[in-house]
Amino acid sequence: MGTTAKEEMARFWEKNTKSNRPLSPHVTIYKWSLPMVMSITHRGTGIVLSFGVSLFGLAALLLPEQFPHYLALVKSLSLGPALICSAKFALAFPFSYHTWNGIRHLV
């Protein structure tokens, strides 16, 4: 008669414990490579874009004024050029990177 799943699992864990093997490879043992970094960045920019579009859509539905009102509000803050350029980069980078990396992947 065969062994039960519980007995098989007990035997597996006993053997693993005796041989002192790790459960699985950990992130720290991998050597970072360009494809790995590009994949992580692609996923991150996808999450940022998804969150940004959702937040913008929710704001468009819930905020009482129209878009020109909020644009005038931002202009009235008289933000410095460095902050404005940083904000533009923070908006443009995820979109452009995710788009071009997606096209690269398809090609």
42 among the known binding-site residues? no
Number of neighbours of residue 94 by Cβ within 10 angstroms: 19
Nearest to 74 by CA among 59, 84, 64: 84
Q: Please name the residues in contact with 95: beta carbons below 8 A apart, sequence gap of 6 or more.
A: 45, 49
Q: Which residues are annotated as a binding site for heme?
A: 98
Summarize the annotated binding site as residue ranges.
98
